[in-house]
Amino acid sequence: MILISTAGKVGAEAARLLADRGVPVRVLVRDPAKVTALARAGVDVVRGDLGDPSTVDAAVEGVSAVVLVSPAVPAQELAVVDSAVRAGVDHVVKITSKASADSPIARRRGQTEIENGLIASGIGHTLLRNNAYMQNFLVLAPSIAGTDGFGSPTGDGRVGMVDTRDVAAVAAEIATDPAPHKGKTYWLTGPESLSYADAATILTEVLGRRITFHPLTFEEQERALIAAGLPEAVAAMNAQALSLFAQGDSDWTTDDVHAILGRSPRTFARFATDHASAFS
């Protein structure tokens, strides 16, 4: 049995892929009513909360591998690691980002704390240090649909964006057969590094109407994210991460998705085509 710790973008897709393959898979969710499609697909849906260790202990029972993905609150993810150690879990696939102890972004410092705790636990593990997700563009979809444009503080910075469906496929593959990946770190990216102006050009081609990109300041981005409903601290972190893109912080690509899956990662054009209705 493989446990996926949440059913967000990566977790829900990983659970679906494993269920499709006939691999026993369980997902921990706060609200099972949100994931009825996963239950119908054969996923064992258990109600729980990463903030409630007794529900985590129940979810890891009988599990051989955990895909550890969540908003990455260190105390919560480290409690999952503790629980996995107690339950004799063999392997943890940790979804992480460009983690670093001295990053200006609190979430990346938190990811380092979790990675270090996981490594120190002695449990088998693989780190998936992913570049930014293409699915972040879905947050911009209402603006693109309504105004044919979008803004961000990314300047001319390029980003090796990866589709969360490919992250999920890699996590599912490693959780199913962890041995070749024990102790390894992979840096998952898409096939190309794109600026937000490049993304606008691709959206224009795919959607068949002109989509424009306009630069925002950090403050304008932070205000827009708060207006979109994000808590202030999260809005500040996301605006900070987007501003770092302008400095080339995420201008990197690797062959890791291809090396693990034996196929190329999805392009941004593929992502845009598959989500065209959201942008229209």
Ligand X SMILES: NC(=O)c1ccc[n+]([C@@H]2O[C@H](COP(=O)([O-])OP(=O)(O)OC[C@H]3O[C@@H](n4cnc5c(N)ncnc54)[C@H](OP(=O)(O)O)[C@@H]3O)[C@@H](O)[C@H]2O)c1
User: Residue numbers of the site for ligand X (CB under 6 A)?
Assistant: 6-11, 28, 30-31, 34, 49-51, 69-72, 95, 97, 107, 130, 132-133, 136
Residue 89 or 132 with smaller CB distance to ligand X: 132
Distance in Å, CB of 76 to ligand X, minimum? 6
For residue 2, give the 3-state DSSP assignment.
Answer: strand
Helices first, then strands: H and E counts in the chain: 12, 9
Distance in Å, CB of 182 to ligand X, minimum? 21
Distance in Å, CB of 234 to ligand X, minimum? 10
Give me the residue label for tokens 């496929």.
Answer: 169
| Neighbour-count burial of 268, counting CB atoms closer than 10 A to its CB (0-12 exposed, 13-18 middle, 19+ buried) | buried
Distance in Å, CB of 240 to ligand X, minimum? 13
Are the C-beta atoms of 57 and 37 separated by less than 8 Å?
Answer: no
Give me the residue label for tokens 């606008």.
Answer: 200
Give me the residue label for tokens 């996963």.
Answer: 38
Residue 148 or 184 with smaller CB distance to ligand X: 184
Residue 30 or 275 with smaller CB distance to ligand X: 30
Are the C-beta atoms of 226 and 235 separated by less than 8 Å?
Answer: yes
Residue 30 or 148 with smaller CB distance to ligand X: 30
In angstroms, rounded to a whole number, what is the distance separating the alpha carbons of residues 236 and 130? 20
Distance in Å, CB of 69 to ligand X, minimum? 5
Residue 35 or 200 with smaller CB distance to ligand X: 35
Distance in Å, CB of 49 to ligand X, minimum? 4
Q: What is the dihedral of CA 53, 175, 21, 37, to 10 degrees?
A: 30
Residue 111 or 200 with smaller CB distance to ligand X: 111
In angstroms, rounded to a whole number, what is the distance separating the alpha carbons of residues 196 and 157? 8
